[in-house]
Chains A and B, each alone.
Chain A
Amino acid sequence: MLFPTPNRRALALLSILLPLVLAAVWLALTSGPLAPVPVTVAVVEERAIAPALFGIGTIEARYRYRIGPTVAGRVRRVEVQVGDRVHAGQLLGEMDPVDLDERVAAQDAALRRAEAGVAAARAQVTDARARLEFAGAQVRRYEQLLQARTASEDTVEARRQEAQVAEAGLATALANLESAEQDLLRVRAEREALARQRGNLRLLAPVDGLVVARDAEPGSTVVAGQAVVELVDPATLWIDARFDQLGSGGLRAGLEARIALRSRPSETLAGSVLRVEPQADAVTEELRAKIAFARLPEPLPRLGELAEVTLALASQPPAPALPNAALQWRDGQLGVWRLVDAGPRFAAIETGLRDLDGWVQIGAGLTGGDRVVLYSQAPLRPGRSVKIVEAIPGVLR
């Protein structure tokens, strides 16, 4: 017999038990603490890092026109609705003039009276001038008569006195005229002032713009300086953006910006940093900057809409760089796990610039071509055996 019976049985038993034991050993070696840790490898490469900043902001208008009366009053009418486009000089609304029109009429009457006074004064001057001429003529005639001794000295004296009286009368008339003219000027100026006030009750658009708010309705009373209608110039929309102070060193005016609006997240708009606010927010630990659109998107973004702003900082010269996932913290040092023949070894490094895609420039500690652990299935420690894989098991793609 080639296979004695008990041996065949033993073989059968072995064929069941051996795989079982092998499976147990295999599992112990591959899933226990003895098992090598699957890791993926990153190679340090020279890479030009384009660091970028990421900020959040809201759409704001650069200029906001708050149109309201200069004196307290009641709103008579508002001509425009929110969302209307208006052009410079367009009537937006009007305040209630109350008694202003009546006061203008009174001033008109006063004006006319003053004009009449001037005319009367002018007539008096003419009268006084006529009297003076006549009195002068009488004096000259009586002086000839005196020389001809046809009139007495007394008579001549009397004529001379009359002429002096007439002169004084003219002076008086002229003074009256001057007074009346001044009065007319005063009344006219007052009339003018009232007309101005009347005009001031009309709320006019200072620029071409968009009505964004209608703060008061006809009948409501507003005080001087309070807005009835708010206008913005849509051509001047910008983003009031905030950037975390951490790593915002390169933030400056003129940087290229990519803008994504919350309502249109997939659409990237171009823009640039207009200015960086000199004052940072101490509470939120953020810097603020104004981002201008290169070209205004259509339809116009809404005021106050959330926008994500990504700023590309100036690209730096190539330097050794690694994905930031490779960086780990160990014993108070930032470093990476270098793959050397004996297994992973922790190497402290210094980091330089970072970009938003997760690349970090390595300042010191590594050179191009060094192999380091990028991802690992478990925390590493020196000498732990590792197995290099394409992707960590279990990661869903």
Chain B
Amino acid sequence: MSGRVGVVVFPGSNCERDAAKALAALGADVEMLWHAEASVRGCDAVVVPGGFAHGDYLRPGAIARFSPVMEAVAGFARDGGPVLGICNGFQVLTEAGLLPGALQKNRGLKFLCMTVAVRVETDRSALTGGVPVGRVLDIPVNHFEGNYTCSPSTLADLRADDRVVLRYLDNPNGSVDDIAGICSPGRNVVGLMPHPERASDPLVGSGDGAALLASFLAAAAAGAGPVAAR
């Protein structure tokens, strides 16, 4: 399934090329979107990749959310366009208010770089539409601030609306309710701490991330609009 995917590049992003390569291998036409541009250039989907946007100064994502491109990404998301935030990209999306909650320092104060098992909790999201619920995927994490937290009422909403997209089988970082990824009320904006682009081929240890990215490209090809309504 092809489609034009924009990958946002902030000063300090470092996973944009991995993301571009993994998406291109699945047939996507990938374009880099420099953070200072106030446009997503008509792309069918947007990926906010991992890294340390703006040096993670103040807080991860705190400054990146004010980059001109984020206003365009927010508009694209409001119109139902598929947006995927990976790791630092997830942090950026929470700071921008496109996803609820926040990512705090890992329980145990350790930077974590390891492959973890995550379970797909819903197939009603732009990232998991083509992946069966209950499937367990091996995907690497690589973060210091990946401990998802939110207010009890937000957690209740996420659970009631089936918006927890992925859960850790063995929680590595202290995230509330073992949450590894969530989606927006429209289900088109998804954020996750694991890196599917680093599990894009068995040659690199796991190909499980490719299933998620293929599903994301299918959502992009289906066009904008609430994912739940498709």
Are A and B interaction partners?
no
